[in-house]
Amino acid sequence: MGFADLSSLSYPWDSLAPFAQRARAHPRGLVDLSIGTPVDPTPAVVRDALASAGDSHGYPTTHGTLALRTAVASWFARRRGVPGLDPEAVLPTIGSKELVGLLPSLLRLGPGDVVVHPRTAYPTYDVGARLAGATPLATDDVEEWAGRGDVRLVWVNSPGNPTGEVLTAPQLARVVAAAREIGAVVASDECYAELGWAEPFAEGVPSVLDPAVCGGSHDGLLAAYSLSKQSNLAGYRAAFVAGDPVLVADLLATRKHLGMIVPGPVQAAMTAALDDDAHVVAQRETYRRRREVLLPALEAAGLVVDSSQGGLYLWCRPAGGEQDCWRTVSDLADLGILVGPGAFYGAAGAVHVRVSVTATDERVQEAADRLAAR
């Protein structure tokens, strides 16, 4: 199997540059609500752990330290309703995007294999399938792929990027059951799981590894997670995957050969972050506060917010019509507000824009004030 040639595939965010330039020219400056990069400080407990592990002269282990893998298992039990996760079935990754992009290849998929991903989705699911030479299938309807022997990998993303949609335990269980019937792997991208807003998800977002979803067996299941959002560790590239011990062992063996290793000091920082819930609760409240400023401001300005039950984004469209997302991007750029066009996430996003709540309190309030004066 060889990698497909993706050299002609443009990076979608590059096309936003002219709108960023226009927004930047606003007299009161740019309010960037497009890319959801964390802007708040990395917690002191994490930075201290990183510094303490700075004398890292030996090679780190690809599998991750036992302390890190135990911390992941404990976090799943404490925060996600997943008891008894075997630390052997945990593997740190260099951020979650590399796992999303490379998982079809790491699973040795190729021509003739189908990779299912959400209809409106982070584009890396599609790119990862194409990179492996497999065929991506964008759908939210299990019946479109149930029973198909060529489906080898099924991605779910909850809370979703960009829509913020959260899947219930029964919805996830249906995906798991259908995938198991055909021997497909289910990979669940759960990076926003600590950020459920609408009821009943404010008290917790279901994991694919939850017994209510998987019946107590992790066979054929992988849950991917990142600490970028809940702990402001985007610059650390700190993430992990967990689930089926057989699948994780296979991924580990391949990653050993490829040298795909999370640096030792970052592993120590991840362990500290996972052991400390206080900073996660505080960061969640920060995002809640910003969301509660932006959401009514967008609605008052004539935008409808769809889905958005969880995550860091508000999925918006103008009320009363089917205006192309690029027109909405342009209208908001005239206010000095930069947002992400829904078209980046598939044809189903053509009339939506994605608005991030990751700007500072001051910039979020500035956006709300400009929307009110629109």
Distances in Å between the Cα of 235 and the Cα atoms of 93, 227, 254, 266 are 13, 10, 25, 10
Amino acid at 157: N
User: What proportion of the chain, given as a percentage, has pLDDT over 70?
Assistant: 98
Give pLDDT tens digits for 101-138: 999 999 999 999 999 999 999 999 999 999 999 999 99
- Burial class, 282, CB count within 10 angstroms (exposed 0-12 / middle 13-18 / buried 19+): exposed
322 or 166, higher pLDDT: 166
Residues 6+ apart with CB under 8 A from 254: 106
310: DSSP letter: B
Give pLDDT tens digits for 56-114: 999 999 999 999 999 999 999 999 999 999 999 999 999 999 999 999 999 999 999 99
44-275 CATH, one of 3.40.1410.10, 1.10.1520.10, 3.40.640.10, 3.30.70.3000 = 3.40.640.10
Amino acid at 247: L
Q: Are 173 and 285 in contact (CB under 8 A)?
A: no
Q: Could you state, in order of their start, the residue ranges of all structural domains in the chain?
A: 12-41+279-372, 44-275
Q: Which residue in 86, 83, 102, 85 sits closest to 94, CA to CA? A: 102
- The whole-angstrom separation of Cα 172 and Cα 166 is 10
- How many CB atoms sit inside 10 A of residue 327's CB? 14
Answer whether CATH 1.10.150.50 is correct for domain 12-41+279-372. no
- Integer-rounded Cα radius of gyration of the chain: 20
Q: Are 154 and 109 in contact (CB under 8 A)?
A: no
